Amino acid sequence: MPSRRYLQLDVFADRPGAGNPLGVVVDAEGLDSTAMQAIANWTNLSETIFLLPPDADADYRVRIFTPRQELPFAGHPSVGAAWAVLDQGLATARGGALVQQCGAGLLPVRIVAQGTRTVPCVRAPRAVQVAAREGLASRLDAVLQALGAPAAAHALLDNGPRWWCVDLGSSAAVRALAPPLAQIASLCLASDAVGLAICGRSDAPDHALAVRAFCPADGIPEDPVTGSANAAIAAWLHRDRAEDGRVVRYIASQGRELGRDGRVAVEIDAQGEVWIGGAVQAVIRGTFDW
């Protein structure tokens, strides 16, 4: 039984104990899908990733698992994967850039130096708004009624995983809500969505948007900080932005309600592509036997 390098990282974190934990199996060759899913279930983190040799045109390959399923793309695993391959010497950032291979395809990564920190920024797959299937209206209405916002703007977005996105208008409404987890799980299972992401604008000096994300169908009542959800929200909120070369940048706050208080740097570039990034902290370095 080979020993494999293992990291546990906090992603979108300015310190250990903040952001979103991520399990990283560095030497994942020889593990099949069944073993990867079993390991992700065992770590019981929102996501565990497995680093593998890439095909042509990529610097590394990553597979991403929740405790229940494999995802083609996820934000904090992609940011963490880029940080981990540099930390472990699996890739070199040429010109401050990497290319990640994942289930969603080849994704460019920028590597930004902030003092002594290496901060990866990943271009998310372009989000597509999905028409909800017939029969979902009652489930969606139940969620919105339980949130106390039956008329809230909402959409189903697909950027690898599918996210229901709901805009409650204000950060105060986002932070005060009590999530209806049973109704959210029912809605997500019926619509092949990974979770429900809720946002509201903030006047705080250090962030422009408050976000919370709930994935009870995957055994994650509330995810601490969620890159793919933030990318879907950014694409949705700025869907009417003219292709005029204007770049939008802001900071999203997520995880405060769980004591994790993460920060996601979001950019919508001149082509309308969404980039997400943030600081990474290594909390555990060791070996993994399976």
Question: What residues act catalytically?
Answer: 47
Strand partners, 223: 213
Cα distance between residue 69 and residue 64, in whole Å: 9
AA letter at 237: L
Alpha helix segments (H runs only) across 124-178:
137-146, 171-176
Cα distance between residue 250 and residue 102, in whole Å: 26
Q: What is the DSSP string of the chain?
A: --EEEEEEEEES-SSTTSSEEEEEES--TT--HHHHHHHHHHH-SS-EEEEE---TT-SEEEEEE-SS-EES--HHHHHHHHHHHHHTTS---BTTEEEEEETTEEEEEEEEEETTEEEEEEEPPPPEEEPPPTT-HHHHHHHHHHTT-TT-EEEEEESSSEEEEEEEEEHHHHHH----HHHHHHHHHHHT-SEEEEEEE---TT-SEEEEEEEGGGTEEEES--HHHHHHHHHHHTTT--SSS--EEEEEEE-GGGT--EEEEEEE-TTS-EEEE--EEEEEEEEEE-
